[in-house]
A and B are shown apart, each in its own frame.
Chain A
Amino acid sequence: MREKAMTTSTPAPHGTADAATAGTPATQGNRGGGLLDPRQLLRALPDALRKLDPRTLWRNPVMLIVEIGAAFTTVLTVADPSVFALAITVWLWLTVIFANLAEAVAEGRGKAQAAALRRAKTDAVATRALDWSRGAAPGTYRTESVPAPQLRQGDVVVVEAGETIPGDGDVVEGIASVDESAITGESAPVIRESGGDRSAVTGGTKVLSDRIVVMITQKPGESFIDRMINLVEGANRQKTPNEIALNILLSALTIIFLLAVVTLQPLAIFSKNFQAAAPDSNAVTDGGVTGIVLVSLLVCLIPTTIGALLSAIGIAGMDRLVQRNVLAMSGRAVEAAGDVNTLLLDKTGTITLGNRQAAEFLPVDGLDAAGVADAAQLSSLADETPEGRSVVVLAKNEFGLREREPGLMPHATFVPFTAQTRMSGVDQGAQGGAGGARRIRKGAAAAVMKWVRDNGGHPTEQVGQIVDEISGLGGTPLVVAEHVDGQPARALGVIHLKDVVKAGMRERFDEMRAMGIRTVMITGDNPRTAKAIADEAGVDDFLAEATPEDKLALIRKEQEGGRLVAMTGDGTNDAPALAQADVGVAMNTGTSAAKEAGNMVDLDSDPTKLIEIVEIGKQLLITRGALTTFSISNDIAKYFAIIPAMFAGIYPGLDTLNVMRLSSPESAILAAVIFNALVIVALIPLALRGVRYRPGAASKLLSRNLLVYGLGGIVVPFVGIKLIDLLIQFIPGVS
């Protein structure tokens, strides 16, 4: 499988574009749609022909039957050549080839990505440490060089700056910046360090600075990159549960039609003998319906459209996830994503921005807010934390206070924020004798209040009240205070820092609700805080003061109620919950334990992506359902073409059924067969792109899809067959 892929993967312009953009976060949305590039079809042709091998085709019973039928008509055509027989035979073969083409095109996209990944998988030489122990200084243990593929689980390797990490593992010593662009497509280096939740490294990525010691966690040949290659290539693609169920239904339909066609023969012979005067035709002779026509009828009736496109739909669904930089370890997980009833979302980073931001200046003791803002801004200029920056931004937005460059202010000494003082501020020298030197401090309420008391002041009760209020609301209060020489220090006001819900989240959650998905916010905050944010963001429920055990218990509870749960996580303590969830999306930045436990990995480490994953899962199922409906609806028109063509010669009354007024029996049958083949090609882009999915209630979705694919499936072939008939009626031997 792999060798074949290597030799055939010639990434042409479109393919390389795919591979290159595969890495970038999929902001471009529904990519890869649009019309199918004819060159893409041409490139997939050799593969499509190779798939004609019955040993490959047996996995697709519907198309196998078409192939057997085509082989049968080939024999009949050779024995008794005619233009009609030849045309039917050619189009039957084309039907099989078109089906294979759909699959080959879908696979081709993955192959281009796989080729790009393989380039990253250089066979590095690893430096294996033989008797390393934790804390051992470099040089105190022996090392040896081994080829990377020979590394086993538990081996410890040393990776220096500029070297490629030889395999997946955890950093056990040191800290380094690592270029992971080979996998994520993101060129900015990331930090990997021993201990904590940022310890996982991936084979094939490159250490840019420093030196780390890595303990290998992968088995040989099962690295993350290996798995990625297999996934995007669809090498060991397993059929998903719904796909299996659909295959059973399609097989049953195929058997029914096979029976309907085979059992028609004695009836046809009986009817023909009854109307002995009716002349023999290309369709019916005294020996019954001709083999060519019988096969044509069968192929037109069995669900070839969906049968041809089913595996392409599955491959393309996985591909769409890869385009969004999500790796699903199984198709089952993608399908489960479509079924999810409950989404567990971490508050920080998913629902709210990662950091709290200043939202309001609250003055105390009769001061005005602008004065507080001014003091707050001055005291925050030297605070480079996101919270500090947000104070400056708020002062500018609310009071139009320009940011003052530290250098432009003489006599001012800035006091930067430190974790020890938990304050930042500024010391302004006395200006022209007007008043004494002024010192302003801003920081954690307790720290600043202490500073006020230390400088002879007494914070009023009002400050304490506001601080308590803000804490109660789930915000963080920062107190601003000043100390002018000669006077007791005093508190000026309070800055309200709060979690800021990401833009558009409420709409997202409303959409989810319309889709029937409940969102639950998980946070370590106290219940009151959690409720405030939950209300603001519009989630359905929240779990406050959540421990990993609580999370796991919540998932179990939901599952016991028959619900499917999806969640994201990155830490080692998330691993049990990730494993328990039906869809567990691990962040690529997370620990290898988390990545191992989840059934998907998000290379962008963007927890919001869970929502997109759900949509892709749904789209996958919808596409299958829609094309099945379309395929079955098509049969009605085909009957109206073929039945009068076969039997109107015997019973002229049946010509009433020829509602399309097709020109001759031969052209009617051929038109139906041609339509049946062409519709496969016409639907390849839809199969690859997926049916458009707009979040909404199930009943709306159903009526829309039913209208388009059910009713459309009934009407389209009437038009299509008629048009084809108009064209081919001029072919001699068919008219």
Chain B
Amino acid sequence: MTVTTAGVLFIVSLLAALVAVHKPFGDYLYRVVSGTRHSRVEQGIYRLVGVNPAAEQSWGVYARGVLAFSAVSILFLYGFMRLQNHLWLSLGFDPVIAHGAWNTAVSFVTNTNWQWYPGESTMGHLVQMAGLAVQNFVSAAVGIAVAVALVRGFARSRTGELGNFWVDLTRILLRVLLPIAVLGAVVLMVGGAVQNLSGGTDVTTLTGGTQTITGGPVASQEVIKELGTNGGGFYNVNSAHPFENPTTWTNWIEIFLILLIPFSLPRVFGRMVGQNRQGYAIVAVMAILALASITLTNVFELTGNGTVPQAVGAALEGKEVRFDVSNSATFAAATTLTSTGAVNSFHDSYTALGGGTLLVNMMLGEVVPGGVGAGLYGLLILAVITVFVAGLMVGRTPEYVGKKIGSREIKFASLYFLVTPALVLIGTAAAFATGNNSTALNVGPHGMSEVLYTFTSASNNNGSALAGITVSTPWWNTALGLCMLLGRFLPIILVLALAGSLARQQPTPASEGTLPTHRPLFVGMVVGVTVILVALTFLPALALGPLAEGL
């Protein structure tokens, strides 16, 4: 079997698995978020935190819930890291430096999992398990909850209510993320991922030196890292580490976990608005762009130009031999398409255009399929913008699944798509204007790409790094922390505001004159709008980075 065939089989089998699973799993998710019964454990939790699970929330209350919960999480994580030397299982590490703790706290609460530090030599086991891993769960749940609230905005009418944030959060945690994480962890352990509380084993290497091999609760963090599109690895080298991702088939499982929830959420959308075909249209947009991107990354890496890649037949530098080029490229595409940011290879070593594709994946706004929840709401915003322009072209006030897209709706949608590009562009320009780009390893176009990639990753809450740049300085930690924070919560506020205004509307019945939003033509338009918006926004910057390098 040639490398190409193996790579194609890998992708096709992933696709087949996702096609098979997205419907039943989506239906399950739908039942979770729209059920009315509460389990005994859940009732206990509601009593404990003093929440009335039957109380519905307006968009403002829902948003306050999200923000308050996240603010408390950030403060808690920050304190945790700053005080870790006083805590159990600290492995003797020092407290995390202030700007670094701020960065990491924001990073994990925003589902970014940007890591400026090597995990195994900075964080003790307790911080990893009770701090970071917990955030891996709850930040993912927050994303899904916000997406569900937006979908309720479309599905409901003449109400100001979007559900109950605390109920959504609890149910998603208890009924979706935890069970799958437990199951997944066992599977990964079978595959060879480690799961212990060891402080490290000293071994003598071949050359006679000593090396400390850190163990820890790896498998449990690994699984939620992928499932919740978090990406923060236990080890510095992330999923390239054999303790995190031992074999080709665990690699397959990890990619599957990355894509599972984002690709299933459109089904929830379809079910909730009562038109499954609307969900199919959204998932089709995601699938088309994702496949195109995965294919492009593979092509660029397999046919990579440059002296070394041409000599060995592909761009193998920075990739694990056990995964080979194709499976690394597929992982890289999946992780950048989903705001996961986990890596099983060194993105900095990718060919200029291959790395550029990963960069563009994130610039798409993390929507195909995007992070858990965030991908769906991001794509729905793009669908709203598409509907607006297309709807005008059929001579009606545009409507999407029965809801009119008026000035209020377009205001929120426009502001939404302004936020991340603004953060990326301003951040990148600021780094160059202030000379902070000097910490990049490379000069010239590749150095440019490194800086651009960093800000794109942080602002889009991806968290992967092109690496090759030192970001542990106060400037970088502060700036990236701000990008992550604003890049997460401004869009969430806007999405919830949009949901609130949609929910208040009464639905317009569909007629022959209504723009059909489930046909291939519309799917094509959303794809076009997504790509064109990104191209128009970032082309000048891309021209000086990956394009200058690769053309």
A269-B432, A617-B395 as given contacts; A515 in contact with B512, CB under 8 Å: yes
- Interface stretch (choices B340-348, B459-467, B514-522): B514-522
Q: What's the Cα separation between A653 and B548 when bound, in Å?
A: 6
A629-B393, A698-B394, A702-B393 as given contacts; A261 in contact with B540, CB under 8 Å: yes
Q: Which residues of A contact B509 (CB under 8 A)?
A: 341, 561-563
A265-B429, A267-B544 as given contacts; A241 in contact with B406, CB under 8 Å: yes
Q: Which residues of B contact A629 (CB under 8 A)?
A: 389, 393
Asked if residues B391 and A653 are in contact (CB atoms below 8 Å), the reply is no
Contact digits for B153-197, partner A, Cβ 8 Å, 1 yes 0 no: 000000000000000000000000000000000000000000000
Q: Which residue of B lies closest to A250 (CB)?
A: B414
Q: Which residues of B contact A624 (CB under 8 A)?
A: 392
Of the residues B393, B535, B551, contact of A636 by C-beta under 8 Å: B535
Asked if residues A628 and B392 are in contact (CB atoms below 8 Å), the reply is yes
Q: How far is the CB of A562 from chain B (nearest CB, A)?
A: 4
Q: Which residues of A contact B540 (CB under 8 A)?
A: 260-261, 264, 267, 297, 643
Interface check B513, CB cutoff 8 A = yes
Would you list which residues of chain B between 403 and 430 have a CB under 8 Å from chain A?
A: 405-407, 409-411, 414-415, 417-418, 421-422, 425-426, 428-430
Asked if residues B425 and A338 are in contact (CB atoms below 8 Å), the reply is no
Q: Which residues of A contact B129 (CB under 8 A)?
A: none
Q: Which residue of A lies closest to B396 (CB)?
A: A339
Of the residues A259, A339, A628, A654, contact of B547 by C-beta under 8 Å: A654
Asked if residues B393 and A709 are in contact (CB atoms below 8 Å), the reply is yes
Asked if residues A252 and B414 are in contact (CB atoms below 8 Å), the reply is yes
Interface check A727, CB cutoff 8 A = no
Q: Which residues of B contact A271 (CB under 8 A)?
A: 444-445, 448, 544, 548
Q: How far is the CB of A610 from chain B (nearest CB, A)?
A: 16
Q: How far is the CB of A639 from chain B (nearest CB, A)?
A: 5
Asked if residues B390 and A244 are in contact (CB atoms below 8 Å), the reply is no
Asked if residues B539 and A643 are in contact (CB atoms below 8 Å), the reply is yes
Q: Which residues of A contact B405 (CB under 8 A)?
A: 245
Interface check A232, CB cutoff 8 A = no
Asked if residues B393 and A706 are in contact (CB atoms below 8 Å), the reply is yes
Q: Which residues of B contact A701 (CB under 8 A)?
A: 393-395
Asked if residues A249 and B385 are in contact (CB atoms below 8 Å), the reply is yes
Asked if residues A563 and B508 are in contact (CB atoms below 8 Å), the reply is yes
Interface check A141, CB cutoff 8 A = no
Asked if residues A651 and B544 are in contact (CB atoms below 8 Å), the reply is yes
Q: What's the Cα separation between A4 and B238 when bound, in Å?
A: 72
Interface check B538, CB cutoff 8 A = yes
Q: Which residues of A contact B516 (CB under 8 A)?
A: 698-699
Q: How far is the CB of B398 from chain A (nearest CB, A)?
A: 8
Of the residues A639, A643, A693, A706, contact of B521 by C-beta under 8 Å: A706
Interface check B213, CB cutoff 8 A = no
Q: What's the Cα separation between A256 and B528 when bound, in Å?
A: 18
Q: How far is the CB of A309 from chain B (nearest CB, A)?
A: 14
Q: Which of A263, A338, A341 gathers the greatest number of chain B CB atoms within 10 Å?
A: A263
Q: Which residues of B contact A706 (CB under 8 A)?
A: 390, 393, 521, 525
Q: Which residues of B contact A241 (CB under 8 A)?
A: 397, 406-407
Q: How large is the interface on A (under 10, 10 to 19, 20 to 34, 35 or more residues)?
A: 35 or more
Would you list which residues of chain A between 679 and 717 have a CB under 8 Å from chain B?
A: 693, 697-699, 701-703, 705-706, 709-710
Interface check A619, CB cutoff 8 A = yes
Interface check A621, CB cutoff 8 A = yes
Q: Which residues of B contact A653 (CB under 8 A)?
A: 547-551
Asked if residues B513 and A517 are in contact (CB atoms below 8 Å), the reply is yes
Q: Which residues of A contact B506 (CB under 8 A)?
A: 560, 562
Interface check B537, CB cutoff 8 A = yes
Q: What's the Cα separation between A654 and B516 when bound, in Å?
A: 40
Would you list which residues of chain A between 509 and 560 have a CB under 8 Å from chain B?
A: 513-518, 560
Q: How far is the CB of A554 from chain B (nearest CB, A)?
A: 16
Q: Which residues of B contact A619 (CB under 8 A)?
A: 395
Asked if residues B539 and A270 are in contact (CB atoms below 8 Å), the reply is no
Q: Which residues of B contact A518 (CB under 8 A)?
A: 511
Q: Which residues of B contact A265 (CB under 8 A)?
A: 429
Asked if residues B512 and A267 are in contact (CB atoms below 8 Å), the reply is no
Interface check B437, CB cutoff 8 A = yes
Q: Which residues of B contact A709 (CB under 8 A)?
A: 393
Interface check B273, CB cutoff 8 A = no
Interface check A625, CB cutoff 8 A = yes
Q: Which of B392, B437, B447 gathers the greatest number of chain A CB atoms within 10 Å?
A: B392
Q: Which residues of A contact B49 (CB under 8 A)?
A: none
Q: Which residue of A lies closest to B444 (CB)?
A: A274
Interface check B541, CB cutoff 8 A = yes
Q: What's the Cα separation between A657 and B409 when bound, in Å?
A: 37
Q: Which residue of A lies closest to B416 (CB)?
A: A252
Asked if residues A625 and B391 are in contact (CB atoms below 8 Å), the reply is yes
Q: What's the Cα separation between A246 and B506 when bound, in Å?
A: 22
A249-B410, A562-B506 as given contacts; A654 in contact with B511, CB under 8 Å: no
Interface check A257, CB cutoff 8 A = yes
A653-B548, A698-B516 as given contacts; A255 in contact with B418, CB under 8 Å: yes
Asked if residues B513 and A656 are in contact (CB atoms below 8 Å), the reply is no
Q: Which residues of A contact B514 (CB under 8 A)?
A: 516, 698
Q: What's the Cα separation between A269 and B435 when bound, in Å?
A: 12
Q: Which residue of B lies closest to A622 (CB)?
A: B395
Asked if residues A266 and B429 are in contact (CB atoms below 8 Å), the reply is yes
Interface check B288, CB cutoff 8 A = no
Interface check A90, CB cutoff 8 A = no
A335-B397, A632-B532, A654-B551 as given contacts; A267 in contact with B511, CB under 8 Å: no
Asked if residues A654 and B543 are in contact (CB atoms below 8 Å), the reply is yes
Would you list which residues of chain B between 31 and 90 have a CB under 8 Å from chain A?
A: none
Interface check A268, CB cutoff 8 A = yes
Q: How far is the CB of A649 from chain B (nearest CB, A)?
A: 12
Q: Which residues of B contact A621 (CB under 8 A)?
A: 392, 395-397
Interface check B402, CB cutoff 8 A = yes
Q: What's the Cα separation between A710 and B430 when bound, in Å?
A: 35
Asked if residues B538 and A266 are in contact (CB atoms below 8 Å), the reply is no
Q: Which residues of A contact B321 (CB under 8 A)?
A: none
A263-B429, A271-B544, A651-B548 as given contacts; A693 in contact with B388, CB under 8 Å: no
Interface check A574, CB cutoff 8 A = no
Q: Which residues of A contact B206 (CB under 8 A)?
A: none
Q: How far is the CB of A538 from chain B (nearest CB, A)?
A: 15
Q: How far is the CB of A288 from chain B (nearest CB, A)?
A: 10
Q: What's the Cα separation between A703 and B132 when bound, in Å?
A: 49
Q: Which residues of A contact B441 (CB under 8 A)?
A: none
Interface check B318, CB cutoff 8 A = no
Q: What's the Cα separation between A563 and B389 when bound, in Å?
A: 21
Asked if residues A259 and B426 are in contact (CB atoms below 8 Å), the reply is yes
Asked if residues A260 and B538 are in contact (CB atoms below 8 Å), the reply is yes
Q: What's the Cα separation between A267 and B393 when bound, in Å?
A: 38
Asked if residues A248 and B410 are in contact (CB atoms below 8 Å), the reply is yes
CB-based closest 8 A-B pairs: A516-B513, A625-B392, A618-B395, A516-B511, A252-B414, A516-B512, A263-B429, A266-B432
Extra 18 A-B pairs, beta carbons < 8 Å, given A341-B508, A654-B548, A699-B521: A241-B407, A242-B397, A248-B410, A255-B418, A256-B536, A263-B541, A266-B432, A267-B540, A274-B443, A338-B396, A516-B513, A618-B395, A625-B392, A626-B393, A636-B535, A651-B544, A698-B394, A702-B393
Chain A interface (Cβ < 8 Å from any Cβ of B): 241-242, 244-246, 248-249, 251-252, 255-257, 259-271, 274-275, 297, 301, 335, 338-339, 341, 513-518, 560-563, 617-619, 621-622, 624-626, 628-629, 632-633, 635-636, 639, 643, 647, 650-651, 653-654, 656-657, 693, 697-699, 701-703, 705-706, 709-710
Chain B interface (Cβ < 8 Å from any Cβ of A): 385, 388-397, 402, 405-407, 409-411, 414-415, 417-418, 421-422, 425-426, 428-430, 432-433, 437, 443-445, 447-448, 506-509, 511-516, 519, 521, 525, 528, 532, 535-541, 543-544, 547-551
22 contacts between A and B (CB under 8 A): A241-B397, A242-B407, A245-B407, A249-B388, A252-B414, A256-B417, A260-B540, A263-B429, A264-B540, A265-B429, A271-B544, A514-B512, A516-B513, A618-B395, A621-B396, A622-B394, A622-B395, A647-B544, A653-B551, A698-B515, A705-B393, A706-B525
